[in-house]
Amino acid sequence: MKNRGKNLLVTSAVVLAAGLYGLSASAADFDAVKSKLEAAMAAEVRTEAETARDANRKPVKTLEFFGLRDDMKVVELLPGGGWYTKLLAPTLAENGLLYIAYGTSRIAARLKDQPGFEKIKIAGEGAQLGPVEGSRFYFATDTDLGVKNADMVLTFRNYHNFDEVSRAAINNSVFKALKRGGIYGVVDHTRRHMQGLNDENRRRFDPVEAIKEIQAAGFELVDFSDLHYRADDELRYEVGRKTVTGNTDRWTLKFRKP
Model pLDDT, residue 11: 42
Secondary structure (3-state) at 72? coil
pLDDT of residue 109: 84
Task: Report the chain's C-alpha Rg in angstroms.
Answer: 20
The pTM (predicted TM-score) of the whole model is 0.88
The pLDDT, as a whole number, for residue 26 is: 59
Provide block-wise average pLDDT over 10 residues at a time, the chain (258 residues). 44 45 58 96 95 96 97 97 96 96 90 85 92 86 95 97 96 98 98 92 96 98 97 92 90 98
Cα separation of 245 and 238, whole Å?
8
| H/E stretch holding 248 | none
Task: Yes or no: say if 149 and 75 are a contact pair by the CB < 8 Å rule.
Answer: no
For residue 118, the model assigns a pLDDT of 87
Instruction: Report whether 32 contacts 68 (CB < 8 A).
Output: no
The counts of H helices and E strands in the chain are 8, 9
Domain boundaries, the chain: 31-256
Classified as helix, coil or strand, 189 is strand
3-state helix, strand, coil in the chain (%, to 5): 40, 20, 40
What's the CA gap between 85 and 39, in Å, rounded?
Answer: 14
The alpha carbon of 9 is separated from its chain's Cα centroid by a whole number of angstroms, namely 41
Which sign, positive or negative, has the C-alpha torsion 69, 71, 72, 76?
A: positive
Q: How far apart are CA 56 and CA 110, in angstroms?
A: 24
Q: Which fold has domain 31-256?
A: Rossmann fold (3.40.50)
For residues 127 and 147, the answer to whether their CB atoms sit within 8 Å is: no
Helix 59-66 and helix 2-41: axis angle, to 10°?
A: 140
Q: Dihedral, CA atoms, 233, 237, 241, 247, nearest 10 degrees?
A: 20
**CA–CA separation, 117 vs 21, rounded Å?**
35
Q: Please tell me the predicted confidence (pLDDT) of residue 19.
A: 47
The closest alpha carbon to 109, from 75, 140, 139, 85, belongs to 85
Whole-number pLDDT of residue 15: 42
Strand bridging mode 73-77 / 150-156:
parallel
